[in-house]
Amino acid sequence: MKRSYLVFLMIFLGIVPVFGGATWTFAQEDTEFTLEEITVTADKRAENLQKVSMSVSVLQGDELLNTGVTTITDILKNVPNVSTSDSGTGGGFSVNIRGLGNDMPVGMGESSVSINYDGAYDQRGESTLFGFFDVDRVEVLRGPQGTLYGRNASGGVMNVVSAKPRTDKIDGYASLEVADYSKRKVEAAVNVPMADKFAGRLAFVSVRQESTTKDDHGFRDPVSGLATRLQFGYMPSDEISVIFLYNYTQNEGQSWADIDKPLWDSGTYDVNRNTYPYHLTNRNKTKNTKMSVTAEFPLGPGILVAIPTYQTTKGDSSSYSLGRGAPGQPPPTTPSFNVNKSPYDYEAKTAEVRYTNEEDSDIIWTVGLYYTKTEDPVYPGSTRGASQEFESNAAFAQVTYPFTDTLRAIAGARYDDTSKSYYDAVGGRYLSESNSESWSYFDYKLGIEKDFSADMMGYFTLASGHKAGGFDDFGEAFDMESNTSGELGLKSRFLNNRLQVNGDIFYYMYDGYQVVDGFAEPDGAGGFIFYVDFTNADKAKSLGAEVETTALVGNATALTLNLAYLKNEYSDDFWVQGDTLNLKGSVMPHSPEFSVLFGIDHTFNFSNGSTLEPRVSYRWTDEQYAGFLIKPENLTGAYSIVDFSMSYNAVKNWSLNFYANNALNEHYYTMVQADGAVVFPGSPRIMGLTLNVRF
């Protein structure tokens, strides 16, 4: 631990109570210390988490604000059977749920995990870099969600729900964060009622941080970003609301994610770069704009919800080779320029219309229509040289019917027609012909729910999900991916609402699992030709289980224990590497067999009403294959992460928070390339402070 942070922590522990006018005397609590009810919209309606018949984890916005959360990796690190990896290209992060996610390059394939921001699907990964601010909650749905969420939800769904405008009062917050690697983060939001029926909410965040890796000249690549979200709401009653949302995100820089394995084995975070100074010669800029309207109002026997969305992502990646000087020395006086410029422009139009039952209905039902169209056109001079278009139309319905007060049946269906087109650019290195493909598929969900008591529900579901096919960078098509699952789960609370145990076991059957196979063959002249093959595995299967437990001990201590088991494997012949290697019986990537999380959270209550809340969590993840091929070079070791935080919450609406993520500085990586020659590390120890003020 750095001396400055150690000194501050000692001061923090010693004088914070004085600032709050408190003494180290526990206050007698007037309210009962019990678990809170958590509301989610996993089934696209507001429900109690304990009444939703699927495996769902929820992270609250206040927790994210206090613990240095910036990226999607920060958010999902403690969710059972969920892992993330930096793409290494400045294009965001990939998310894997129960081993399903995305190893496809950005723009060539789509994830098996559907990421949605305020009800709208987001295909590109750039928004996962700095898109998490003024968040109400994040919901993680494990397992295929094909009926309500459609394509690309064969592995699961991540819902990011921002705080909404309210008409009751003016309030807001401001947050300042400083941390290791020159991190500076400013975040603020304000809610303003404009009349009895109107309100607006404005939120803003700005982040700058240097990379945890450095080049052989000691330079760390800076990454910066800013985002703003403006919402206007018209809410004349509890049943009617119309919310307009405008979201703008901009990020710049390309934090190095890959390290040569020999350098990594030496214990460093050094990268081997052939350009210097890197920050002047390599740039990655992205601008993301989203506009949407969410309208909800009664119509006949139900409620109509409409969400049209328009989104653009513009980016520009540039690389200029200036030659290389010796470590610590300037580059050659006469550099040789080699320009590589790759701009892109992505556009998406999405519309979803749902018609649902009224809140007091005994039968819960939803019917809807969905449409989306995306365009990723070519830019003059782009090395990418080609463009793709995507269009999807779907109709869906789901109903939950009560046979008795304690027994309910679920039935859902979705039909989706998807088409993609690939267009070649003149003079590019791609196919001389364009290519188009279409896929139509039917997804279903069947289930049963049983209330064993007021605080215990069991469920069993059969569900399917699909992931659209696509084209590689030569315009050749690969097929779609599908997943059928069975899940048996239990949601329960005991001991007067002080112990919660949620668990499930599941079994998956995959068809057409999408992979990227890279291999080299001799060219006959002493060299090699490198091939990238986008292909599908015919059959694969998965068996797993998850348990999430929270226990309240005494009047101020909360214990968390999450356990996960996962066993994935290719179950049919699957020839790769130019038909030289059969992966039948091999484990699939990103599938640690076991993972464990244990956390403890204690609240010290002072006589003036202020609190001090230390938290410690321990996370252990089993070894896993972090690359496509099942070989020793691609096997990561098991790793353990300890996170620590301490929050002082004053009576007068301010809090001071210290955190140390990866406090013991575990040296680990989560992804590999080139048969283990290159690794993508997890973050080293990062300590920081946040000051939050609410008004």
DSSP conformation letters of 13-61: HHHHHHHTT--S-BPPPSS---PPP-EE-TTSS-EEGGG-SSEEEEEEH
Q: Tokens in use for 281?
A: 């010669």
On whether residue 539 sits in a domain, the answer given is: yes
Q: What percent of the chain has pLDDT over 90?
A: 44
On whether residue 290 sits in a domain, the answer given is: yes
On whether residue 47 sits in a domain, the answer given is: no
> What is the Cα–Cα distance from 567 to 550, expressed in whole angstroms?
25
Whether the pLDDT of residue 335 is over 70: the answer is no
Q: What is the pLDDT of residues 45-79, one digit of tens each?
A: 888 999 999 999 998 888 777 776 767 777 888 88
Q: Summarize the confidence of residues 225-238 as an average pLDDT.
A: 93
Q: What is the pLDDT of residues 301-333, one digit of tens each?
A: 999 999 999 999 887 766 554 444 454 555 555
On whether residue 96 sits in a domain, the answer given is: yes
What value does the CA radius of gyration of the chain take, rounded to a whole number of Å? 26
Whether the pLDDT of residue 381 is over 80: the answer is no
Would you place residue 86 in the very low, low, confident or very high pLDDT band (cuts 50, 70, 90)?
low
Q: Summarize the confidence of residues 351-362 as an average pLDDT.
A: 92
Whether the pLDDT of residue 180 is over 90: the answer is yes
Cβ–Cβ under 8 Å, residues 167 and 153? no
Indicate the number of domains in the chain: 1
Whether the pLDDT of residue 126 is over 60: the answer is no
> What is the Cα–Cα distance from 468 to 638, expressed in whole angstroms?
33
Cβ–Cβ under 8 Å, residues 121 and 370? no
Whether the pLDDT of residue 223 is over 60: the answer is yes
Cβ–Cβ under 8 Å, residues 605 and 556? yes
Which has the minimum average pLDDT: 97-101, 496-500, 569-573? 97-101
276 lies in which domain range?
3-29+52-694
Q: What is the pLDDT of residue 263?
A: 81
Q: Summarize the confidence of residues 648-672 as an average pLDDT.
A: 91
On whether residue 682 sits in a domain, the answer given is: yes
On whether residue 488 sits in a domain, the answer given is: yes
- From residue 690, alpha-carbon distances to 18, 551, 695 in Å are 19, 28, 17
Q: What is the pLDDT of residues 583-624, one digit of tens each?
A: 898 888 888 999 999 999 999 999 988 999 999 999 999 999
Q: Summarize the confidence of residues 642-649 as an average pLDDT.
A: 94
| pLDDT top residue among 437 and 336 | 437
On whether residue 43 sits in a domain, the answer given is: no
Cβ–Cβ under 8 Å, residues 567 and 544? yes
Q: Indicate the pTM of the whole model.
A: 0.86
Q: What percent of the chain has pLDDT over 70?
A: 79
> What is the Cα–Cα distance from 121 to 73, expressed in whole angstroms?
19
For residue 681, the cross-strand partners are 669
Query: For the purposes of burial, counting CB atoms within 10 Å of the CB of 693, is it exposed (0-12), middle (13-18) or buried (19 or more)?
Result: middle
| pLDDT top residue among 680 and 643 | 643
Q: What is the pLDDT of residues 525-576, one digit of tens each?
A: 666 566 667 788 889 999 999 999 999 999 999 999 999 999 999 999 988 8
CATH code for the domain of 334: 2.40.170.20
Q: What is the pLDDT of residue 478?
A: 83
Q: What is the pLDDT of residue 385?
A: 55
Cβ–Cβ under 8 Å, residues 366 and 401? no
Q: Tokens in use for 264?
A: 């990594």
CB-facing half-sphere around the CA of 43: CA atoms within 13 A: 26
On whether residue 635 sits in a domain, the answer given is: yes
3-class state of residue 263 by DSSP: helix
Which has the minimum average pLDDT: 42-51, 214-223, 510-519, 615-624? 214-223
